[in-house]
Structure 1
């Protein structure tokens, strides 16, 4: 029984590590493509979306590192690993949100218009399809392991899916109407979603710390 449970746990950790590596690889490619074409076409929403992809990379690296150590049997340190992964992800989202707000504000003030947003449409459609599959598998593994960090990583992927929808709306809207500030509004929407995901990551990390403190306090009193 214990052997079966151990093997099952190791299999779940293996799947979590694979999902983290897939997240890292995909988002590096997506980030490079989005930042490259976003800068070339002066498309702020696509450029911001690419930066968000690199935040996904940070989250994926944190999860991969955590799972790798847990697979080596360092289970007693699991909570500290998960809190660290959550806070790294949250901080990265906050930095991204701040940068996007400043850039979008300057863009609106200067009346900036992108050259084209066709690549934003292409990238967003690919991302929506891929993230939908990735979220399903991350949620399944995260629930099986009862891991707040893996579930938070799934939330990051869900945020990426929402960001893809925002990017698609902003990019298609500009191509159809030619209204320049739609691109900047899309960037602001991406900033808001990034800020929200960062706050949720920190809330989960603080909640884990509180639970740990309460448990320690109860142990001391007993």
Structure 2
């Protein structure tokens, strides 16, 4: 691969990482606002997860920036610290969502509406699919495991959006009791899974992994 073409693809990968960070910031703000105002736990938890993904995204952007200078085989101290902070935040989020879901069921709390959740989920599905497809494409062209691993993290966010969409649609259309609480538990499970993977990757420092999110 010619050096100029390599640099252009690497710059595109960096641009995709910055788009991911920017989108998650906006998504997190919108989701937590409407999640709190509409009293929908699933949307609120989804928004908090988006903010945590920003921390992970910063680590990825930093790693790609390093790749623009020299080949990267391991995570550096900044990226390891970002992973540890991300993992801790995800564990806290998972615990909070479980407690919130239990309290919602006990108190028989239901959202005022989940329309915002439907809109956010649809936009997220479209955006994350685009980012996943482009990251995989550029990662394979560059033969870069770090970028492919980042794409797999984006795919996890893609699946998470379907959980939010399903719980929001079921409640908005048929007002099924506790479906919002169940949706938040699904998000909590993914948060716990991502947190575990973050700590495992921070411990190994390796960029060659077989997990869904590296």
Q: TM-score, structure 1 length as denominator?
A: 0.81
Give the deviation of 1:69 after TM superposition.
Answer: 2.7
Q: Structure 1: which 5+ residue stretches go unaligned?
A: 212-222
Aligned to 1:46: 43
Separation of aligned partners in 2, 1:15 and 1:120: 30
2:74 matches 1:79: yes
| Of 57-66 and 144-153, the range deviating more from structure 2 | 144-153
RMSD between superposed Cα atoms in Å: 2.5
Q: Deviations over 1:118-170 (max 9, x none)?
A: 11111111111111111011122333444444333222221211111111111
Gaps of 5+ in 2: 209-214
The Cα shift of 1:206 comes to: 4.2
Q: Would the alpha carbon gap of residues 187 and 113 (structure 1) be closer, same or farther in structure 2, given more than 3 Å must change? A: same
The 3 A distance-change label for structure 1 pair 93 and 189 is same
Q: Tell me the residue number matched to 2:93.
A: 96
Q: Is the 8 A contact 1:121 1:172 kept in 2?
A: yes
* Partner SS, residue 32 of structure 1: helix
For residues 144 and 102 of structure 2, the distance between their equivalents in structure 1, rounded to whole angstroms, comes to: 38
Tell me if structure 2 keeps the 8 A contact 1:86–1:152.
no
In structure 2, do the counterparts of structure 1 residues 198 and 148 end up closer, same or farther at CA, with 3 Å as the change threshold? farther
TM-score (norm 2): 0.84
Post-superposition offset of 1:203: 3.5
Instruction: Report what 1:157 is aligned to.
Output: 154
5 Å matches for 1:1-222?
4=2, 6-71=3-68, 73-75=69-71, 78-81=73-76, 84=80, 86-209=83-206
Partners of 1:123 and 1:138 in 2: CA distance: 22
Q: Deviations over 1:13-70 (max 9, x none)?
A: 2112100110011111111111111100001001011111112211221111222233
Separation of aligned partners in 2, 1:146 and 1:62:
20
Give distance in 1, aligned partners of 2:207 and 2:21.
Answer: 30
* In 2, Cα distance between equivalents of 1:119 and 1:25: 20
Change (3 A) 1:166 1:15: same
Contact 2:75 2:207 in 1 (8 A): no
Residues 158/23 of structure 1: CA separation in 2 closer, same or farther (3 Å cut)? same
